[in-house]
Amino acid sequence: MYYENNTYLLFDKTTCQHTINFGELPFISPNKKYIVTLRANPYTDNADVELFKLSGNNNIKHIITLSFCNWMPEVGNSIFWSKDGYLYVPVNHPDKYWLEDGYINKEFEYIRMKVK
């Protein structure tokens, strides 16, 4: 962790080789084919989402980076992949994301996302 930055290191469990760094907490899909990272960008009041594809031999390919302006995620323990194959993310509109005291509003709605 650095000032206003995090780094998550991914290692191969068999070879112990460092595979990739993520700037946000990676969420691996239940079928082990995708990784999604989400970030609430406090400077632009956007949600930044990155999608990676996993394939054999520890190959991780960046597919796309998306930015959404109408919601921001609560990145933490509340994000989860469900058995239905969707990623559930607690979100708020940027106008409701921050409380007056500067803390994050903990009253969220959920969106669900699916990789097709």
pLDDT at residue 67 greater than cutoff 60: yes
**pTM of the predicted protein model:** 0.85
pLDDT reported for residue 57: 73
Q: Count of CB atoms within 10 A of residue 42's CB?
A: 13
Q: DSSP assignment of 47-89, as one string?
A: EEEEEEEEETTTEEEEEEEEEESS-EE--STT-EE-TTSPEEE
pLDDT at residue 23 greater than cutoff 80: yes
Q: Where are the domains of the chain?
A: 8-113
Residue type, 91: V
Q: Which of 113, 67, 68 is nearest to 89 (CA)?
A: 113
Helix (H) or strand (E) holding 37: strand 34-41
